[in-house]
Amino acid sequence: MAPVGYRGCSVVTTVTIRAYAADTGSGLVDVLDALKVHSASLFGHAEIAFEPVAIFDRPFSTVARLRIVPHEAAPFYAFTKIYKERPPRPYETARTTAEVVEQEFAATLRLHTALSGRPGFASPRPIARFPEHGAIITGELTGRPLDRVLRRARGVSTPLLQSVATRIAAWLRAYQTSAATGETSCWSRDEGRAYLDDRLRYITPGFLAPEQRARALALFDALAGQVTGDEPLVPIHADLCPSNILVLPGGGVAVLDFATAQHGTRFHDLAHLYMHLELCRNRWRQRIGISQVQEALLAGFAHEPAMRDPLFRLMLLQHVVCHVTQVADSGGWRPRAAVRALVRWRWEVLMRMPALGGATFAMDGRHQCPSDASTRSSGAEASAISPISSTASPSRD
Ligand SMILES: Nc1ncnc2c1ncn2[C@@H]1O[C@H](COP(=O)(O)OP(=O)(O)OP(=O)(O)O)[C@@H](O)[C@H]1O
Ligand SMILES: [Mg+2]
């Protein structure tokens, strides 16, 4: 079977696959050996062939599609993800690849158990993990990554994408209530501010102007001041973005990649995906109705408009800061000036989202001071927030 292309990867030839598989540096040989050693306990038979049919070199991992041929039974496909070692950034909590693998496997297993049999939701079946090789293996799900669907959206109707968005919102609600996790903590304003400030401090020299950092913190304070009551923490995916969502043939959805699954607020994942949809609009010059897809996502998640909720807006702000920090760090071979321009452009585009104050935070620093009676913030910081219309925002597509 010909391998299909995956995000950020070209289709590889058999020759390349053999070369990769032979290269011990990728870790694939070790993983294939470990699968063979454990095939009796994993698959109930020792005589099983494992054949890599596609390999994708990704920034933080090597992903291989495996053809698994059991003895006298029909072959099936699985994916192995082998994490690359990388030093943690100064603003990150250090985790070993073994810890990441264990955590991802546990979250994938919990979800698979909780969602099995629920129509419209599929979830990857965890097959094995080899923490010592930084590897996890999951059964293949048939579907197309949402980022590819959006990128090649010609021929895909907006109503179809809206129904996918509604399904993702339903998935999110099911995930958040998927299991009693024993988590009793609530969202902490101080921790949220420290998280934001760590990243802002890291990128301010060279990427953002000090006034931009100050304005982002002022916006945080204004929004945090409006969050009333305790916000309990729920299970979150923490990297819910189009490339981690598969659109299944019948219109259902599956979510992949639980490497960062943890606990957070109920709006964490929703705001993260909302921001990534915003990036799709700007990155690929989409002519499909991204605004309608975003609205379907929010409406599918909550009856009350999430856009008006200060916690949703706060999560959005947090994700924007986190995203531009990652962009600033992902320079690689690119000249620093190019990375800087990219960071500034992304910042400008994202901070212009209506939920973050529209044009208020544009790079030129000009500051609108809307007087919004419905915005219950106080003092000078209140002027950092522009009003959110109670009606649906006009389409920006
Ligand atoms: N079980 C699976 N079924 C179908 N496709 C899969 C499966 N596992 C991985 N894939 C494909 O491989 C791609 C990469 O997998 P994954 O998201 O787990 O790793 P990653 O993207 O390298 O991690 P990161 O999000 O840090 O970049 C997915 O976008 C998807 O296209
Ligand atoms: Mg991924």
Ligand 1 site residues, Cβ closer than 6 angstroms: 6-7, 58, 60-61, 63, 79, 81, 124, 138-141, 145, 239, 243-244, 256-257
Residue closest by Cα to atom 20 of ligand 1: 61
Q: What are the pLDDT digits (tens) for 26-45?
A: 789 999 999 999 999 999 88
Phi-psi region at 8: left, alpha or beta (left = phi > 0; alpha = psi -120 to 50): left
- Lowest model confidence (mean pLDDT) among 9-23, 91-105, 229-243, 365-379: 365-379
Average pLDDT, the chain: 84
Residue 394 lies in a domain: no
pLDDT above 60: residue 212? yes
Locus of tokens 């990155």: 283
The pLDDT confidence band at residue 20, using thresholds 50, 70 and 90, is low
CATH number at residue 345: 3.90.1200.10
Residue 18 vs residue 13, higher pLDDT: 18
User: Same structural domain for residues 250 and 130?
Assistant: no
Rounded CA gap, 345 and 323, in Å?
12
- Lowest model confidence (mean pLDDT) among 150-154, 208-212, 257-261: 150-154
Q: What are the pLDDT digits (tens) for 152-202?
A: 877 678 889 999 999 999 999 999 987 666 777 999 999 999 999 999 999
Residue 390 lies in a domain: no
pLDDT above 80: residue 366? no
Rounded CA gap, 19 and 24, in Å?
10
Counting the structural domains of the chain, the total is 2
Domain boundary among 139, 157, 186: 139
User: Same structural domain for residues 54 and 31?
Assistant: yes
The pLDDT confidence band at residue 16, using thresholds 50, 70 and 90, is low
CATH number at residue 74: 3.30.200.20
Cα 143 to the center of its chain, rounded Å: 18
Rounded CA gap, 314 and 227, in Å?
9
Q: What are the pLDDT digits (tens) for 289-319?
A: 889 999 999 999 998 888 889 999 999 999 9
The pLDDT confidence band at residue 395, using thresholds 50, 70 and 90, is low
Q: Which pLDDT value is given to residue 88?
A: 85
pLDDT above 90: residue 120? no
pLDDT above 70: residue 373? no
Ligand 1 atom, smallest distance to 58 CA = 22
Strand partners, 144: 247
Residue 364 vs residue 194, higher pLDDT: 194
Domain boundary among 102, 117, 139: 139
Q: Which pLDDT value is given to residue 243?
A: 93
Residue 9 lies in a domain: no
User: Same structural domain for residues 192 and 220?
Assistant: yes
DSSP string, 316-383: HHHHHHHHHHHHHHT-TTS-HHHHHHHHHHHHHHHHTSGGGTGGGG-TT--------TT----TGGGG
Rounded CA gap, 67 and 207, in Å?
45
User: Same structural domain for residues 94 and 150?
Assistant: no
The pLDDT confidence band at residue 106, using thresholds 50, 70 and 90, is very high
Mutate to test the pocket of ligand 1, among 65, 82, 243 (most ligand atoms within 8 A of CB): 243
Domain boundary among 89, 116, 139: 139
Residue 190 lies in a domain: yes
Residue closest by Cα to atom 19 of ligand 1: 257
Contact of 317 with 237, CB cutoff 8 Å: no
Average pLDDT over residues 49-77: 90
Taking the centre of ligand 2 as the mean of its atom positions, its distance from the CA of residue 341, in whole angstroms, is: 25
The domain in which residue 40 lies consists of: 14-139
User: Same structural domain for residues 98 and 175?
Assistant: no
Rounded CA gap, 14 and 3, in Å?
10
Residues 6 or more apart whose Cβ sits within 8 Å of residue 182: none
Mutate to test the pocket of ligand 1, among 53, 65, 81, 104 (most ligand atoms within 8 A of CB): 81
Average pLDDT over residues 21-30: 76
Which residue type sits at 88? P
User: Same structural domain for residues 173 and 108?
Assistant: no
The pLDDT confidence band at residue 8, using thresholds 50, 70 and 90, is very low
